[in-house]
Amino acid sequence: MSRFLSRARSRALLQSLRLRPGERRYALLEACAIGIVSAVAALALKEGVDLLSTYRIQAAVRFGWIALPLAGAMLGFLAGVIVENLAPQATGGGIPQVKAILAQFPLPMGLGEAVVKAIGTILILGSGMTLGRRGPTVYIGAALAAQLSAWVPTSPVHRRQMIASGAAAGLAAGFNTPIAGVFFVVEELMRDVSGLTLETAILASFTGGVVSQLLGATDGQLPERLMEVGLRASFETRELPFYLLLGVLAGVAGTLFSRGILQALEFNRRLRRSLPWRIALAGLVSGGFIALLPNLFHNQADLREFIIFGQGDWQITAIAFFAYFLLTILAYGSGAPGGLFAPALVLGAALGYLVGTAEVALTGQGASFTYVLAGMSAFFTAVVRVPVTAIVIVLELTADFNAVLPLMISAGIAYVVGESVRGASLYQYLLAAQGIDLDDDASANTLLDNLDASDIMHSPVETLSSALVLEDVRHIFARSRYRGFPVVTDNKLVGVVTQADITRLASRPGTMALEQLMTARPISVQPSASLSEVMTLFNRYQLSHLPVARERELLGIITRSDIIRAEVGRRSSQLPPTETGFRGSEPSYLVYQTRSPALGDGRLLLPLANPNTAPFLMRMAAAIARMRRAELECLRVVPVPRHQNLARTRVTTEQARTLMHMAEAIGLEWDVPVHSEIRLAHDVAHTVLNSIRDRHISLVLGGWQGTEPSSSPLAAIVRHASCDVVLVKPGDTATATVARPSRWLIPIAGGPNTQRALELLPELSGWTPEPEFWLCQVFPPDASDLDSSPLDAAARELQQFAPNRVTAIPIRAHSVTEAIVKLATTEACDVTLLGDSRESFLQRALHGNLPAAIAREIDSTVILVRAASDRSA
């Protein structure tokens, strides 16, 4: 496929595109359409949930309490089957997925995902689980907007803003809160206040709210009902301490709620059960728990109204709070499609009622209803970290502006407390658990902050005229060393053509016009675009070339080599010497050393840091050294603060010496010469890099936690080591001997690191008994032609080393990570061997890449290989 971003993949641009007046009018019409379809979707969701809930309650009346857990299990299992097989990304509430897509991450989103999310949510909420439908409504609105933009292609920036408008319309249609819908987009999803975004978001949200109200897609007219029962908010200065207390309690409880959600998700990931069974188990437990509670808890809509209107005493409200708290964590943690907006508001209402009741008990006066409203905004803020949206939602729901001050006080305190305890929203952590860190991607590389696209592009650019025909282009590619060219008309960028395009059209006539075969409207950047934006495009969309243009006038082009040269140049000219590991820093201080006879043909370096994994790494390193007939260098670097003199610092080396003695004993056991050193140093990475240089190391074997070591010494070692680097995350095989033949899983993805991993496999597998090798290659589910030649070539190469012990498996899957993790888990693979992502040369690019995401999810040993030859790639 073209290494330039094709029209189908041009779903996110970082540059700003101005719309002509006609296009702006079209955008506003599209926003109205998005609002209408979002309201219809909200109505369908509401009616489906109400209908299924009615059937469930009637079944409980007819067949007894057993119907509740059975309904939860069966409907949950059915929802899990539908989601897992039709749209695996439709789990949860959907807000994190929308947030990631608006931040340029290419996740699937369209009509299919919207339908699956709607059906799954109806089944889950109809089963009685304590989740909400507003989060899914936001996702459905965004997905329908994405599909509408796909049917009527426009610029990628326009499509992104339409998705944001769909999210706003979804929230407005779900709550009948059009203003809150706009604030949520600006405050949480996009943080974009450009004119077009506000215009389309406001219009879509307004349309969605109005149509939703006309269709009856919301839960009744809350303001009128509050007036009927005489509930109005009030505020007196003497109540201020109680609202401050409510804010603190909501901040702490909301943070605990978020942590509970994350821990429940992690527990379910490690449960090694499919999504249907996880949701079914949650539905069974939830239904059984609800069956033990009063009948009020059988219908979630009645329970929410009961709490908001303060119709019970403090005991039943406290029970409702804790039951809702735990059951929501249980349901969301299972991966069930359902949102957290409504549960957060209900939990806040219950907490506010309890604080208001406490004030009445202590002072003899007070208004519990005002505390209910303040608790809703405070708890919602603590979980989602959008205080303005939380306040506006409650005000729009109640139309009671007497509550403004209590809402602001409680929400503000809850926000401060939440940020102090845990400095990000729940959605941010949910994305981070999937390997998507929006903060990391949004932050600029401090080394390259003052560089932009014009600083690193090369110009002039070799281009092709759009007037050429296919035969001319074939001759040009045959004579040129370039694999792609921009296509211009009067120096205006109109498209790109690549070698892949020419190969794909081999059977077409040579008279075919270049305009018919090129990729039109390719992604490009302004010359003023920051280098962090350029890196984002390259890393996320696997680009090889990126045109630089102003008003479609081609100015230059950027390649990966240009970015790498820019970083290397900045590091060599601006970094302190200790960062590079090669120039003029204070040397490390040697405190312990042993030397064995220099009998090997080369040396391996084993930096030791974690005593718990050191024995495993030592045996693995010894096995590799013995097969290579090499010597083993064991190094323990004790970090010392920079303000202390290395030679005058007192440190305890007893534990480090114990590790060295263990290494020497393992060396005798494996008949491998072992050299050991303990050094004090200000910079661990600098010391390791110097050892690689001074001792002529050919391979470094290091421990790894399976995360993105973007700020650790390991990152500098990976970037700058002049030899092969092998990182090992010890798993189950590190603590137990595998009695059966060991099973190795090797995903084939191409590139020098994967190839080097295959070359090192005979040495790396020497420590496991009778290894069996499973090679896999993951293809998109809709791929019509599977090019398994890399997989077949790797299998043939490995058969020479391990005849009759190699299995090649092509896999179709939406997610490469999920496919590899599932295969490693279900087939009980002892070791997963990965080639590092080439983008990890850059400081930030280890974050969110496939190896780290896979290593986090696999309990067994994971090995990551970085080839020495890839340092200059």
545 or 91: which carries more pLDDT confidence? 91
Task: Please list, in sequence order, all residues whose beta carbon lies within 8 angstroms of the beta carbon of residue 464, skipping any fewer than 6 positions away.
Answer: 473, 476, 485, 486, 487, 488, 497, 514
Torsional class of 233: left (φ above 0), alpha (ψ -120 to 50), beta (otherwise): beta
77 or 868: which carries more pLDDT confidence? 77
d(CA 622, CA 675): 12
What are the b/e assignments for 334-372, b being 16+ CB within 10 Å? bbbbbbbbbbbbbbbbbbbbbbbbbbeeeeeebbbbbbb
Q: Which of 60-69, 91-100, 308-317 has the lowest mean pLDDT?
A: 308-317
User: Which pair of tokens denotes residue 475?
Assistant: 């001759």
Of all residues in the chain, what percent carry a pLDDT higher than 70?
83
d(CA 189, CA 203): 17
d(CA 351, CA 72): 27
Q: Which of 225-239, 362-376, 649-663 has the lowest mean pLDDT?
A: 225-239
User: Which pair of tokens denotes residue 625?
Assistant: 């050294």
Secondary structure of 307-342 in HEC code, one letter for each residue:
HHCCCCCHHHHHHHHHHHHHHHHHHHHCCCCCECHH
Structurally, the chain folds into a number of domains equal to 5
pLDDT value at residue 22: 44
Which of 431, 466, 484 is the endpoint of a domain?
A: 431
Query: In angstroms, how far is CA 703 from the centroid of its own chain?
Result: 24
Half-sphere exposure of 141 (CA within 13 A, CB side): 42
Q: Are residues 545 and 606 in the same domain?
A: no
Q: Which of 36-50, 282-296, 447-461 has the lowest mean pLDDT?
A: 447-461
Q: Are residues 196 and 263 in the same domain?
A: no
User: Which pair of tokens denotes residue 449?
Assistant: 């902050």
Closest Cα partner for 498 from 528, 522, 518, 475?
518
pLDDT value at residue 581: 39
**Sorting pLDDT into bands at 50, 70 and 90, what band is 156?**
low
Residue 870 has pLDDT above 80, yes or no: no
Task: Please list, in sequence order, all residues whose beta carbon lies within 8 angstroms of the beta carbon of residue 764, skipping any fewer than 6 positions away.
Answer: 620, 624, 726, 757, 833, 863
Which of 688, 703, 718 is the endpoint of a domain?
A: 703
Q: Which CATH number goes with the domain that contains 371?
A: 1.10.3080.10
318 domain-assigned: yes
Q: Are residues 787 and 861 in the same domain?
A: yes
Q: Are residues 172 and 264 in the same domain?
A: no
Beta pairing partners, 679: 590, 637
**Residue 63 CB: number of other CB atoms within 10 A?**
12
Task: Please list, in sequence order, all residues whose beta carbon lies within 8 angstroms of the beta carbon of residue 767, skipping any fewer than 6 positions away.
Answer: 619, 620, 623, 624
548 or 216: which carries more pLDDT confidence? 548
469 domain-assigned: yes
Task: Let me know the angle formed at the C-alpha of 851 by 616 and 628, rounded to the nearest 5 degrees.
Answer: 45
At residue 201, φ and ψ (nearest 5 deg) are -65, -40
d(CA 149, CA 151): 5
Task: Please list, in sequence order, all residues whose beta carbon lies within 8 angstroms of the beta carbon of residue 563, skipping any fewer than 6 positions away.
Answer: 456, 531, 534, 535, 538, 842
Q: Which domain holds residue 392?
A: 228-431
Query: In angstroms, how far is CA 493 from the centroid of its own chain?
Result: 34
Task: Please list, in sequence order, all residues whose beta carbon lies within 8 angstroms of the beta carbon of residue 523, skipping any fewer than 6 positions away.
Answer: 4, 5, 10, 13, 156, 537, 541, 543, 546
Amino acid occupying residue 333: G
Secondary structure of 138-200 in HEC code, one letter for each residue:
HHHHHHHHHHHHHHCCCCHHHHHHHHHHHHHHHHHHHHCCHHHHHHHHHHHHCCCCCHHHHHH
Residue 168 has pLDDT above 70, yes or no: yes
Q: Please state, in angstroms and as integers, the Cα–Cα distance from residue 296 to each residue in 222, 290, 291, 320, 346, following that order.
A: 20, 9, 10, 10, 14
Amino acid occupying residue 858: I
Q: Are residues 232 and 204 in the same domain?
A: no
Closest Cα partner for 817 from 107, 2, 116?
107
Q: Which of 144-158, 355-369, 428-442, 796-810 has the lowest mean pLDDT?
A: 428-442
With 0-12 CB in 10 A as exposed, 13-18 as middle and 19+ as buried, what is 383?
Answer: buried
Closest Cα partner for 688 from 604, 592, 756?
604
pLDDT value at residue 253: 92
Do residues 351 and 330 make contact, with C-beta atoms less than 8 angstroms apart?
Answer: no
Task: Let me know the angle formed at the C-alpha of 509 by 504 and 511, rounded to the nearest 5 degrees.
Answer: 115
725 domain-assigned: no
Mean pLDDT of 356-364: 84
- SS3 state at 693: helix
Q: Which of 73-87, 185-199, 251-265, 858-872 has the lowest mean pLDDT?
A: 185-199
Q: Are residues 135 and 99 in the same domain?
A: yes
Q: Are residues 676 and 816 in the same domain?
A: no
d(CA 704, CA 862): 9
Mean pLDDT of 273-291: 88
Which of 549, 565, 581 is the endpoint of a domain?
A: 565
Residue 445 has pLDDT above 60, yes or no: no
16 domain-assigned: no
Q: Are residues 404 and 283 in the same domain?
A: yes
- List pLDDT tens digits, range 550-579: 877 888 888 777 776 666 555 444 443 333
User: Which pair of tokens denotes residue 75?
Assistant: 């409907």
Q: Are residues 596 and 629 in the same domain?
A: yes
Q: Are residues 245 and 102 in the same domain?
A: no
716 domain-assigned: no
Residue 20 has pLDDT above 70, yes or no: no
Q: Are residues 256 and 404 in the same domain?
A: yes
pLDDT value at residue 873: 39
**Sorting pLDDT into bands at 50, 70 and 90, what band is 649?**
confident
**Residue 18 CB: number of other CB atoms within 10 A?**
10
Q: Are residues 214 and 326 in the same domain?
A: no
- List pLDDT tens digits, range 811-820: 888 888 888 8
Task: Please list, in sequence order, all residues whose beta carbon lies within 8 angstroms of the beta carbon of residue 225, skipping any fewer than 6 positions away.
Answer: none
Mean pLDDT of 75-92: 88
pLDDT value at residue 248: 93
Do residues 473 and 495 make contact, with C-beta atoms less than 8 angstroms apart?
Answer: no
With 0-12 CB in 10 A as exposed, 13-18 as middle and 19+ as buried, what is 647?
Answer: exposed
Q: Report the run of H or E that residue 486 belongs to, with start and end.
A: strand 484-489
User: Which pair of tokens denotes residue 20?
Assistant: 């002509």
d(CA 424, CA 432): 11
712 domain-assigned: no
Residue 604 has pLDDT above 90, yes or no: yes
627 domain-assigned: yes
pLDDT value at residue 161: 79
710 domain-assigned: no
